[in-house]
Amino acid sequence: MTGITKPNSKSSNIVEAVQTARDAFNRGVTRPIEWRRKQLNSLLRMYEENRNAMIEALHKDLRRSKMEAVLLEVDYLINDLKNTIHYLDEWSAPEKPPKGIVNILDKVVIYNDPYGVVLVVGAWNYPLQLLLLPMSGAIAAGNTVIVKPSELSVACAQFVAETIPKYLDNEAVIVVEGGPQETTELLKQKFDYIFFTGGTNIGKIVYEAATKNLTPVTLELGGKSPVYIDNTVDIFVTAKRILWGKFINVGQTCIAPDYVLCTKEVQDKFIEAAKKVLKEWYGDEPQKSPDLCRIINSRHFSRLQALVDASRDKIAIGGTYDANDRFIEPTVLSNVTGTDKIMQDEIFGPILPIVTIENAYEAIKFINEREKPLVLYVFSTNDKVVSSLVDNTSSGGMCVNDTVMHMGVETLPFGGVGSSGIGAYHGKATFDTFTHKKSCLIKNFAAIGEKLASGRYPPYSESNLNFLSTLMRKRFGPSLKFVPYVLAFALGAGLSYGIFTWQKMTSEDL
């Protein structure tokens, strides 16, 4: 390892940090699989050796309980990283796609190339997971990485800045601390890929900055993720699954259920079930529960407080708050309309409005009249209803009869669409996100191949055109990938038969 680079708020140091990372990439430091594996194993060791420190930092920033800290961040990171290490050789190996008859004698290869210098900008609501998971994917793909933690999650940003240089190559993985000024300076630099997690408005700024250098981006944003409930479900189980997804991290989750769509009858049943569930989980005084997080800062608290105050006449459960403790009680609103203040922007807090509709068709219409959500949640045991929502809506992803849990399926790419984001990651999709698929055709100088292709050379003729058109015509049938092996086998068998026949004839002559 080399000396630690610690850029501060000065733009010159940010320029220096980016140049250090580019020099390391240009020297080929990050390309060998052995280097990547060593870095990923060191990162895994960092997680395992600093488990308690990560839990403590999350508690300082968000008063996150140990249960949520471990399941949603620490263990999540560890399991994802172990999966990446296990499949690193397989994912990084050149791919050999199918080839047509015109290239039957050639090699057709797709190389998994790193982009180069990658910028990863994290978010404050899951300050470790949303920063370190994409970072590990960028390293696995062979990139150098500039890491920018959110300044709002102070303890976690400090942990990242102090800990990463102790475990990872300081020229290839560099942490830049700071706020909007530092982020602005970073976006002025030329990167080969930018990965940003945060709000849609800031995402637009990042996207605009990236276009100046034609830099590809992944934008993990958010939006108002709806939940549709029909009358076929177990309402008590449904309430538990929705409320858990809503109130982990007190709603400060990009995939948290933002609002519910259901009939008036289902609404009433849901509220009764929700009262029992919330009392069972958090008791009569939720503020004293050790299992409820806090709002990240006073600015976000004031925004949520204003939403609660504007909805006083529609509060069915909860509604209390404490500014000194940045505490907002889990709150459910009933009979909300699409024009209410609570429905104008992503809530990102522990407030769950219910909008009543008549049927699934009306729910689909309501969803499609708004921006495309990051996730659509559907609670129904009616396959036709589920299929109708799948086929007639657009969202980054879907989860049926549960919330949030699709995030734990590593084979499902996670990402948004439209205003909820661009691109996807998780599992192999993370590796692929930071990988350029470099296509390569490798021709040989075999006489037969040159003879077949010689019709392309001038002087042009009608017969050569017809021959090449026939050769290049798209055909669909059995795969041709085994043809070379069949030909080789046939050739070998023919030679063997010829030798056997010759030997037999020779013996008869004797």
Q: Which positions are catalytic? A: 220, 254
- Direct distance between the N- and C-terminal alpha carbons of the chain, in angstroms, rounded to an integer: 76
CA proximity to 242, closest of 415, 379, 414, 385: 379
Residue 325 in tokens: 């403790």
Residue 178 in tokens: 């700071």
Q: What's the CA gap between 232 and 301, in Å, rounded?
A: 37
Q: What is the DSSP string of 209-272?
A: HHHTTT--EEEE-----EEEE-TTS-HHHHHHHHHHHHHGGGG--TTS--EEEE-HHHHHHHHH
Burial status of residue 233 (CB atoms within 10 A of its CB: 0-12, 13-18, 19 or more): buried
Question: What is the DSSP pairing of strand 421-422 with strand 321-322?
Answer: unpaired
Residue 105 in tokens: 């004698």
Question: What is the DSSP pairing of strand 421-422 with strand 217-220?
Answer: antiparallel
CA proximity to 326, closest of 308, 304, 352: 304
Give CA separation, 87 vs 42, 83, 137, 141, 465, in Å.
17, 6, 12, 12, 46
- Give the Cα-Cα-Cα angle 92, 93, 99 (nearest 5 degrees): 125
- Which backbone phi and psi does 427 adopt, to 5 degrees? 60, -140
CA proximity to 431, closest of 133, 200, 161: 133
Q: What's the CA gap between 234 and 411, in Å, rounded?
A: 28
Question: Is the distance from CB of 217 to CB of 317 less than 8 angstroms?
Answer: no
- In eight-state DSSP terms, residue 102 is G
How many C-beta atoms surround the C-beta of residue 115 within 10 A? 21
Question: What is the DSSP pairing of strand 226-229 with strand 259-262?
Answer: parallel
CA proximity to 342, closest of 66, 368, 386, 333: 333
Helix (H, G, I), strand (E, B) or coil at 145: strand
Q: Where are the alpha helices (DSSP H) in 27-153?
A: 33-49, 51-62, 66-69, 75-92, 129-140
Q: Where are the alpha helices (DSSP H) in 400-482?
A: 428-433, 447-453, 462-472
Question: Is the distance from CB of 240 to CB of 281 less than 8 angstroms?
Answer: no
